[in-house]
Amino acid sequence: METTKRMSTTDTTTRIKACLAQVVPDHEVRDDEDIFAAGYVNSLFAMQIMLFIEKEFQITVEDEDMEIENFRTVCAMAGLVERKQQQTLATVTDR
């Protein structure tokens, strides 16, 4: 089971990095690199990232999720996706 989870996280980070590569084509963003501190992201692109995450991973980013810490690094964004997907799965299985 742990292997499947890692593969899923790897797939998530790969997809997020592909989105970031459109804006930062000459630099491969590390999983733990602060994209705001590095100056790669402005407020407009931050919104584009949020919309990408919602569409790509079929989740809803709620107002309470709109904290910079959830979008600061690839790992943080992947963690947000995983948490939201787990919440969705828990909601579906509770029905």
> What are 73-84's pLDDT values in tens digits?
999 999 999 999
pLDDT over 70 (residue 95): no
DSSP class of residue 27 equals S
DSSP class of residue 30 equals -
Which helix (DSSP H) or strand (DSSP E) does residue 72 occupy? Answer: none
**27-33: average pLDDT:** 96
- Measuring CA to CA, which residue among 15, 24, 93 is closest to residue 54? 15
**47-68: average pLDDT:** 96
Give residue 50's pLDDT: 96
Taking a C-beta distance cutoff of 8 angstroms, is the pair 78, 5 a contact?
Answer: no
Give residue 43's pLDDT: 85
- Measuring CA to CA, which residue among 23, 63, 26 is closest to residue 44? 23
